[in-house]
Amino acid sequence: MRRINYIYQLERWPNFVFDLPKLTNALGRIQFLQGRLHGQMEQLTPELRKQAIINALSAETQASCDIEAAHFDQLEIESAVARSLKIRIPDMVPSGGMAKGAAEMVVQAAAKHDKKLSSEQLCQWHTLLYPSEKGITIGAWRNHRLDIKDPKTGNIRFAAPDPDLLMGEMKRFIQWINQDLETHPLIKSGIAHLWFLTLHPFEDGNGQLSRAISLSLIAASEAGLPRYHAPSVILLKEKETYFQMLENTQSGNLDITEWLQWYMAIIEKSITELKLVQAEVITKQKLEEKMEFKGLTINQKQVLRTLSKQEKPYFTSADWAAVAGYSKDTALREIRTLLNLRLIQKLSHGGRSTRYRIAN
């Protein structure tokens, strides 16, 4: 009798089951939050709504990359997202490689709510993620065994299905995505996330692709309305739990109620946190308008943008010097200029340790 270690080895795979009544309340809350969110965003100006979309898709792209330990500059990601949306933002920077490809994939996924998924689309997304990678097979299903190991211990956390099964398994997965019109899109998003990661069809990049597929199904639940929240931001914050939930579910049985409850909570949190993002969008836009009106240099604008995103509510001349790459004396002269322009405010006295904040 063969040993069963993972759900894909079960006789009834992939006939997932779940207790719908246990998910109904969460679905209702999410749909209410989605409706309220879009109502709030409609009250903003068109320019602020565009910025909110860029912020959300940039945050989604960056967090999804960060989960896989692929770290990129925030402005590079924002510039790539804006280019994909054909929207200009202040002081756009060049973007290429995985940063550009990951941004394009997320933008495409968010807009794919009413289109069918295909193996060609998945392979194209995989190619976007690895435009110049030579060490792995790009844009095609893997052709060798794949074990997912714990980076700290080296222990195998999950062994993916044999490569000779992938053609049939991926055909079945894609057919389900396109033909199942009865399952609620939010539940379908959670199932697809787990199912795709269980198959692990590519040599690398499966995590980012699974989150892109999920994003497209979340967009379907909103009838194609603009995407203002970023689930991967919450997944990144709960990364260890995320990986443990996947591991537990993949080595359990086909009742995935617990996974779906956890996944619904992630989506709900991502919408709730948008309140903070919305406030940041308005603050950011006001800062951009002030900087443009006052005629700041590109470098001054970039320093102010960087300092406005840090967690602490103040900065010092040493912070300014570090971000700008100036000497502290040069930083102090620039700070005095911005004080005179009323773009920043002094919080306390104390020479070089004086604290400042960006003016409201």
> Is the preceding omega at residue 14 within 30 degrees of 0, hence cis?
yes
Q: Determine the average pLDDT of the residues in 86-98.
A: 86
- Average pLDDT of the chain is 90
The pLDDT assigned to 196 comes to 98
**Cα distance between residue 192 and residue 203, in whole Å:** 19
Confidence band of 2 (pLDDT split at 50, 70, 90): low
d(CA 93, CA 77): 9
Q: What are phi and psi of 315, to 5 degrees?
A: -145, 165
Share of the chain above pLDDT 90, in %: 58
346 to each of 142, 315, 328, 335, 341, how far by Cα in Å?
Answer: 58, 10, 17, 10, 12
Residue 125 clears pLDDT 70, i.e. is over it: yes
Q: Is the pLDDT of residue 151 over 90?
A: no
| pLDDT over threshold 80, residue 236 | yes
Residue 1, pLDDT > 60, answer no
Domain covering 296-358: architecture? Orthogonal Bundle (1.10)
Instruction: Render pLDDT for 311-335 as a digit per residue (tens, 0 to 9).
Output: 788 888 889 999 999 898 898 899 9
Q: Assign 129 to helix, strand or coil.
A: helix
pLDDT tens digits, residue range 57-77? 999 999 999 999 999 988 899
Q: Indicate the fold that domain 7-276 takes in CATH.
A: Fic-like fold (1.10.3290)
Q: Would you kindly state where each structural domain of the chain is located, as residue ranges?
A: 7-276, 296-358
How does DSSP classify residue 17? B
Q: Give the tokens for residue 159.
A: 């062994």
Q: Quote the pTM value.
A: 0.81
Report whether pLDDT(183) > 70.
Answer: yes
Residue 216, pLDDT score: 94
271: CB partners within 8 A, 6+ apart: 30, 33, 34, 37, 229
Q: What is the pLDDT of residue 278?
A: 64
Quick: pLDDT tens for 282-299: 777 777 778 878 888 888
pLDDT computed for residue 277 by the predictor: 65
Select the more confidently predicted residue: 360 or 77: 77
3-state secondary structure of 139: coil
Percent of the chain with pLDDT over 70: 96
